[in-house]
Amino acid sequence: MERLLELTDIEVRMGFVASCVEAAAKHVGCTYLEMYRRMKRVGLINDYIIRHYNTIHTESRESITCSVLECLHNWEAYQGISAPKGTNLYVLRQGEKGGTSC
């Protein structure tokens, strides 16, 4: 019988963080590395995604992405950091789920 790999809690949470970074990057049209750097710079990964994992991981992917991007925008603004030029945090690209917005 094949033995399944069991992930630790921290591995599951890090996978969730990675999926949040990738989804947010895709949403705004940047690389995951650029999005990771922005999130890390304002403390979003530890102080929002990981800290509130138990609550936010139960939401839909779209809702999580919108919440994370809104939080990133607010935290960058609070710290006096401007989003990169041409970044629209709230509007989904045309054709994605009817063009709804966050």
User: What's residue 83's pLDDT?
Assistant: 72
Whether 92 contacts 27, CB under 8 Å: yes
Neighbours of 6 (CB within 10 A): 6
pLDDT for residue 74 is more than 90: yes
Question: How far is 100 from 81, CA to CA, in rounded Å?
Answer: 27
User: What's residue 75's pLDDT?
Assistant: 95
User: What's residue 86's pLDDT?
Assistant: 64
Instruction: Average the pLDDT over each of 11-15, 71-75, 92-96 and give the range with the smallest value.
Output: 92-96
The token pair that represents 86 in the structure block: 């041409």
- Global pTM reads 0.79
Whether 20 contacts 65, CB under 8 Å: yes
Question: Domain spans of the chain?
Answer: 9-99
Percent of the chain having pLDDT more than 90?
73
Q: Give counts: helices (H), strands (E), the chain.
A: 5, 0
Confidence grade of residue 89 (pLDDT, cut at 50, 70, 90): low
